[in-house]
Amino acid sequence: MTTARLEKLNASLGASGLDAVALNPGPTLTYLTGLHFHLMERPVVFLVARGQTPAVVLPELEMLKVEEMPYPVQVFSYGENPSEWEAAFRKAAQSLGLDGKRIGVEPRQMRLLEFRYVKSGAPEADYPDASDVLGSLRLRKDKQEIEAMRRAVRVAQSALEATIQSIKIGMAEKQLAAELVTQLLKHGSEPELPFSPIVSGGPNSANPHASPTERKLQAGDLLVIDWGATVDGYISDLTRTFAVGQVEAEYEKIHRVVQEANTAGRAAGKPGVPCADVDKAARAVIEGAGYGQYFTHRTGHGIGMEAHEEPYMRGDNMQILEPGMAYTVEPGIYLPGRNGVRVEDNMVVTETGSESLSDVPREIRVVG
């Protein structure tokens, strides 16, 4: 499979006008090789030049991983002395004839550390943004990838149900987040979660990307939990909103509105439809209920090996949905200083429509 992915990248390089790409540790490198490297002070770079045997530059302590490579690679290793590192990169660049060529990079992944070493090996090269080329490789998921995401959803949902039982009034957000992380690991998530869970109650729930605090849950709070699991390198990303005891009628209302918006957004996704239509379908429900100004973000984003990747469910994104694309639908209403609601599901485009991988109850549930 990884060999086929490398061949696909080679074909894409020819069509895009790029001569090569330089990748440091991250999802794309893992997608192409099946290997995992940590970002650390010792640089690791994978170089793919059109029609040539790829090259990898890495520290000697990582050499055993090269034996797991699914296809031949040229290996350029270095020791612990940083003064030797530039030479390894120079040899790698020379072996592929990269100087003066167009070497694509991923701006969101390539650190200045690795970039400087690559540039030292090919100082006359051009380094354009290769995000579109590399992003398109992972855009349409195959059956194996979708199955991994499906398992990641099951793990996340099971962990949530186990966590709900422990929620009590007076419990700190951080305490609840810690319990959720524990349950995610117990139920089968890989230790590297897709993101740190968001657990936010009351006024904090009106912040879409709140971090758990020492604030204690109080009766009348809405409680937003945004969490996910990782299975075989693929992730889930879900959100549900709960009522801590009895809540005001308006809070029950905005939950119903968001739930209806989620339903509309999920129904809108199908092959041939632009991403914008998913956003517009969900947003129309919230705007129709008079809460449009309190829906402050896009309706969703792509998921796979990363928690945020293409395609993006924005009102101006005319990218066409195709079978195999996976994304979230997560409308929300956030009343500053009061309470917030978000309901998020994971979707995959099928040949005839779209499927929700997640089915944990979307209705508001009372906890505490």
Q: What are the CA-CA distances from residue 84 to residues 46, 88, 91, 115, 314 (Å)? A: 18, 7, 11, 16, 47
- pLDDT at residue 343, as a whole number: 98
Q: What is the mean pLDDT of each run of 10 residues along the chain (368 residues)?
A: 92 93 96 93 97 97 92 97 97 98 96 98 98 94 97 98 97 98 98 97 98 98 98 98 98 98 98 98 98 98 96 98 98 98 98 97 97
For the domain 2-137, what is the CATH code? 3.40.350.10
- pLDDT at residue 240, as a whole number: 98
- pLDDT at residue 194, as a whole number: 97
- pLDDT at residue 361, as a whole number: 97
Instruction: Tell me the residue length of the chain.
Output: 368
Task: Evaluate whether the domain defined by 143-367 bears CATH number 3.20.20.70.
Answer: no
Parallel, antiparallel or unpaired: strands 345-349 and 326-329: antiparallel
Parallel, antiparallel or unpaired: strands 365-367 and 45-49: unpaired
- pLDDT at residue 14, as a whole number: 86
Q: What are the CA-CA distances from residue 266 to residues 41, 78, 82, 139, 222 (Å)? A: 43, 50, 51, 19, 23
- pLDDT at residue 304, as a whole number: 98
Contact 214, 174 (CB under 8 A): yes
Indicate the domain borders of the chain: 2-137, 143-367
In the chain, what is the straight-line distance between the N-terminal and C-terminal CA atoms, in Å? 48
Contact 313, 154 (CB under 8 A): no
- Cα–Cα distance between 246 and 22 in angstroms, integer? 55
